[in-house]
Amino acid sequence: MSFVVGRVSRTNLLQRRIGLAALLGVAPLAISAAPSGGPATATADASRCAGVSAMMAGHWPDATTRVTSAQWRAKGYAVAQATQPDRPPVMLTLPAHCEVSGLMRPHRGVDGQDYAIRFRLRLPSTWNGRFLFTGGGGTNGTVGDAIGTLQAGTPDALTRGYAVLAQDSGHDNATNSDPAHGGAVAFGRDPVARADYGGTSLPQVTLAAKALLAQFYGRGPRYSYFMGCSKGGQEGMVLAQRYPALFDGIVAAAPGFALPRAALAEAWNVQAFAGVLRAVGRPVTVPALASTFLPAQGARVRQAILAACDADDGLADGIIGAPGRCTNARVLPQLDAALCRPGEDAGQCLVPAQIDALRKVHDGLRGADGRTIYPGFPWDAGWFDPGWAIWMTGSADGHVPSLNVMLGAGSRAGVFTTPPAAVPATPDALLAYQLAFDPARDAGAILRRAAPFTRSAWQDIGARSTDMSAFRRHGGRLIVPHGMSDPVFSVADTLAWWNGVDRANGGRAASFARVFPVPGMAHCAGGPATDHTDAFDALVAWVERGRAPDQLAGRAGPASPWPGRERPVCRYPLALQATTRDGQTVFACRPEGGLPQRAR
């Protein structure tokens, strides 16, 4: 749940592990433009691009739409994408294209702020007839770069010839961020802005982009795709469920389709780790949360999980490929074996309060009646990897405070509570808000309606319906990659959702929707995982050639323990299994039973 990042984006670790610039759709900095091919062609293209506003007169589906900028970018135009604040940006050289910026549906909010939906569309000079809408991240509020970064190490969508769209979902962090009302979540005070964030902005910008394509190229797109992760994954689910005819294929990775419920679980998990501090009589502070598990203790937890479950897929390699077997009954005895014994270095072993906290995180948030409010997080090899820890406790070096506090509290208060709660955007206030969470008293806030809100936060932002019948009838295809060690959106929730879809479709949901749990992967990327996958290419092959994927090609990134390692990433409910033939290890995706819907 990548939320209000301004307070913590200064850190290297956060950006490295969750791909902050990509998740938040940060617009790139233009660096240079090299000359294009011939002078006559360049002049004609530039003139056509400059005339976009006049070209679209009377052709916008929403009459409030207007072009704010239309600039011709010659071949070789370079942009810089920031990934870490203290390192040079990544340079991207783009093909010749027309970059169009616009806005639509301006309005004055009930909070007195001015809002509008802003978008960017890049139109390549050599168009392949395809359209890609790239999702946002966090609280949005920034227009994405509209370049279409796909799999690491492969050309972006614009370079491949796609027309690429991005938007800010109806509010602007530069003008709508109010420190007195939670900073970047201040838009949550306006019902229209909250609804646009939840998804009502999506069809508006999509239809505008398609209309522009039709005028600019003389025809609309042959194929339309959407790709996003985190909040972008939620947007993909919104499109599939509420606006099923707009896209032929959707990649909705690590989908935040239950964002309000996940925000409640963030508070629950903060309280779980706070219990470790209270058990030893230490004050609960944001910096102290990072010390609830020392690095050696986190490593001990990972070792216990691997000892219980690593070899179940046929190979002890640091990847838990058969997650359905990794239950409490298997893991808790291994954790108990790591309890401190007399004379043992306390920094190298565990205490009962730590195991109790881990079990609470694993088992999930339940109400007083015992019903699950939000599923827990499955045991996996990525627990206490830096990309996991920054959410749950904060980084061990203290540079990144717990994101479940710093990001989760503000978003729960400002966006997912009706009416929005006023919580100062300070570490102490945000922590106090999370520690005061009472499921019996506070969980209902995500379902509440109160003037001027005629819809609840769950109605605006939740996108967890199992009724995918309209998307299926449209012929749409959906791929959902999700990290098994995602520390903010539980893969168990995604799998439970898919099981519901499968039941609603008589056991045939895989004909149009497939979930790919990625062992070891954290939120959208990172972790001890083969987290670089070909999900988008697999989607295109499914949509355009009918090749339904049973597995994705996974490759470990440079920050993993095994850079370059390759493994299949299996579609649920298949699982990775390894066998040895003639001295060679062979991997396959086979039935395994899948992840239990309820922790055992």
Distance of alpha carbon 598 from alpha carbon 600, whole angstroms: 6
Active site residue 523: yes
> Which of the following is catalytic: 178, 523, 532, 534?
523
Q: Do residues 287 and 277 lie in contact, with contact meaning Cβ atoms separated by under 8 Å? A: no
> Which of the following is catalytic: 145, 486, 493, 531?
486
Active site residue 486: yes
* Sequence-ordered list of residues with C-beta below 8 angstroms from that of 367, at least 6 positions apart, any chain: 373, 439, 440, 443
Beta bridge partners of 229: 253
Q: What is the DSSP string of 79-142?
A: EEE-SSTTSPPEEEE--SEEEEEEEEEEEE-TTS-EEEEEEEEEEESS--SEEEEEP--TT--S
Torsion of CA 311, 313, 315, 320, to 10 degrees: -70
Bridging pattern class, strands 249-253 and 223-229:
parallel
Distance of alpha carbon 94 from alpha carbon 72, whole angstroms: 12
SS3 assignment for 381-449: CCCCCHHHHHHHCECCCCCCECHHHHCHHHHHHHCCCCCCCCCCCCHHHHHHHHHCCCHHHHHHHHHCC
Distance of alpha carbon 432 from alpha carbon 415, whole angstroms: 18
Which residue in the block uniquely carries the two structure tokens 């058990």?
A: 279
**Cβ-count burial of 495 within 10 angstroms (0-12 exposed, 13-18 middle, 19+ buried)?**
buried
Tokens of 183: 């900073």
Task: Tell me how crowded residue 163 is: count the other CB atoms within 10 A of its CB.
Answer: 30
Question: How many CA atoms lie less than 13 Å away from 472 in the CB half-sphere?
Answer: 16
Active site residue 230: yes
Q: Which helix (H) or strand (E) holds 518?
A: strand 513-518
Tokens of 107: 């309005």
Q: Taken in order 1, 80, 8, 111, is the CA torsion positive or negative?
A: negative
Q: Do residues 497 and 261 lie in contact, with contact meaning Cβ atoms separated by under 8 Å? A: no
> Which of the following is catalytic: 125, 169, 230, 411?
230
Distance of alpha carbon 202 from alpha carbon 210, whole angstroms: 12
Helix (H, G, I), strand (E, B) or coil at 331: helix
Q: Do residues 304 and 330 lie in contact, with contact meaning Cβ atoms separated by under 8 Å? A: no
Q: Do residues 472 and 241 lie in contact, with contact meaning Cβ atoms separated by under 8 Å? A: no
Distance of alpha carbon 367 from alpha carbon 379, whole angstroms: 22
Beta bridge partners of 591: 574
Amino acid making up residue 276:
V
Kindly give the residue spans of alpha helices, DSSP state H, lying in 487-559: 491-504, 535-545
Beta bridge partners of 30: 79
363: left (phi over 0), alpha (psi -120 to 50) or beta: alpha
Annotated catalytic residues are 230, 486, 523
